[in-house]
Structure 1
Amino acid sequence: MKYRVIEIFTSIQGEGEVLGIPSNFVRLATCNLRCVWCDTKYSWEAGTEMTEEEIISKIDKRIKTTTITGGEPLLQNILPLVKELKKLGHKVIVETNGTVKPSKELRKLVDVFSVSPKLSNSGHKINYNFKDDDWATYYKFVVVYPNKDIDEIVKFVESQSIDPSKVILQPDGNRKDYINAILEIVQVLLSRGLQFRVLPQFHKILNIR
């Protein structure tokens, strides 16, 4: 199996429930969306073709967590790659925009599906359906306009019957006043008594990828 790969590196997981965990990262090429605030636009490119064996040869074998990200990784058949990683005893995290549903076989193997549904602030209007098939480990939303975006998130969560404990909010990573961006979200949540979590993008604070 050949994959179109943008980059392979090792760093600290910067987002979601897995924040702070050392991880290998395999960034796959291409995406079916073009979010206006995307901070990895270079992942929209064609990438370099690599087999799963070539990919695994490039990761740090001491690190037993591997994150498959993009772009949108579920546009490619990642099942063979995931199977090889599981043979090595890896915890596998898949970061996805949620527009492509994983197969039942893939769901059994992947440890964490970090799903980031796109709000209107992305420049897209997407009709998601998680109410009938809630396969996400957690949902991660990028907040650009706190009041407006959180209104939209509340409606999304209610319409999809999502457990609020699975919802994570994070600020727009392009904000130069990043700490203030986090505080703005916190203030809105506290003022409205909402039970969502707010987490930073750890790699933004550390200024690493």
Structure 2
Amino acid sequence: MDYWIIEIFTSIQGEGDVIGTPSNFIRLAKCNLRCVWCDTTYSWEKGTRMTLDEIMAQINNNVKTTTITGGEPLLQDIFPLVRRLKEEGHKVIVETNGTIPPKKELLELVDVFSVSPKLRNSGHKLSYDKVEWATYYKFVILNEEDLKEVSSFVSQRRIDPKKVIVQPDGRREDYVNALRELSTQVMNLGLPFRVLPQLHRIISVR
């Protein structure tokens, strides 16, 4: 089984429910979206074709958590890759935009699905189902209107607010201020969502 790969590296997980966890990262090539604030536009490229054995040879086996990300990783058949990682004792996290539902066999293997539905601020107007397979949801927030859109998204789909994470625009040079502003907006609106940073915006972890 071959995959189109952008990069493989080991670092600290910078966001979501698993923030702060040492992890291998396998960034798969290509994406079905073109979000205006995307911070990994290089993942839209074709990448390098690699076999499963070649990928595994680059994994740090002393780190037993591996994140499969993109781009949009579910554009490729990641089941053989996930199965191989699980056979070698890895916890597997898949970061996805939620537009491509995973097959049942993949749902049974993956430990964490980090799902980032795209709001209108992404430049897209997408229709999502409940995405019941999500372990948690992450939303990029540019302004207060985005928070109201998230609130509507969550209430319409009866999503548990405990599974919802909001984070500020990673393009902001004053990132700490952006984080502070978002925290204030969440409190002022009385929303039950968690505010978390992207850790790699604050410290260099790679």
Please indicate the TM-score interval, normalised by the length of the shorter structure: over 0.9
Who is 2:162 aligned against? 165
- Counterpart residue number, 2:137: 139
- Give matches, 1:40-55, under 5 Å: 40-55=40-55
Matches of 1:110 and 1:172 in 2, distance apart? Answer: 28
Give the superposition deviation at 1:191: 1.1
Aligned twin of 2:82: 82
Q: How far apart, CA to CA, are the structure 1 residues paired with 2:156 and 2:135?
A: 18
Per the alignment, residue 106 of structure 2 pairs with 106
- In 2: Cα distance, 1:51 partner to 1:125 partner: 36
Distance in 1, matches of 2:136 and 2:68, equals 16
Aligned sequence identity (%): 65
Deviation at 1:189, TM superposition (A): 1.1
Gaps of 5+ in 2: none
Tell me how large the CA RMSD over aligned residues is. Answer: 0.8
1:61: which partner in 2?
61
> 2-side partners of 1:156 and 1:64: how far apart?
34
The equivalent of 1:201 in structure 2 is 198
1:63-95 CA deviation, whole Å, 9 max, x = no partner? 000000000000000000000000000000000
Match in the other structure for 2:182: 185
Q: Secondary structure at the match of 2:11?
A: strand
Partner of 2:11: 11
**How far apart are residue 198 of structure 1 and its match?**
0.3
Structure 2 CA distance, aligned partners of 1:202 and 1:26? 18
The runs of 4+ residues in structure 1 deviating greater than 4 Å are none
TM-fit CA distance, 1:208: 3.8
1:193 is displaced (CA, Å) by 1.4
Cα distance in 1, alignment partners of residues 52 and 74 from structure 2: 15
Amino acid of the residue matched to residue 197 of structure 2? P
Q: Determine the C-alpha separation between the residues in 2 that align with 1:136 and 1:195.
A: 18
* CA displacement 1:82-132 (0-9 Å, x = unmatched): 0000000000000000000001110110000000000000000000001xx
Q: Note the C-alpha offset of 1:52.
A: 1.3
Question: Residue deviations 1:21-62, cap 9 Å, x none?
Answer: 000000000000000000000000001011111101001110
Match of 2:93 in 1: 93
SS of the residue 1:109 aligns to: coil
SS for the counterpart of 1:188 is helix
The 2-side partners of 1:37 and 1:189 are apart by 21
Q: CA deviation at 1:207?
A: 2.9
Separation of aligned partners in 2, 1:192 and 1:58? 46
SS in 2 for 1:194: coil
CA deviations 1:123-179 (Å, max 9, x no partner) are 00000001xx5000000000111x110010001001111000000000111110001
Q: How far off its partner does 1:17 sit?
A: 0.5
2:148 to 142, 148, 151: 151
Secondary structure at the aligned position of 2:155 is classed as helix
Q: TM-score, normalised by structure 2?
A: 0.98
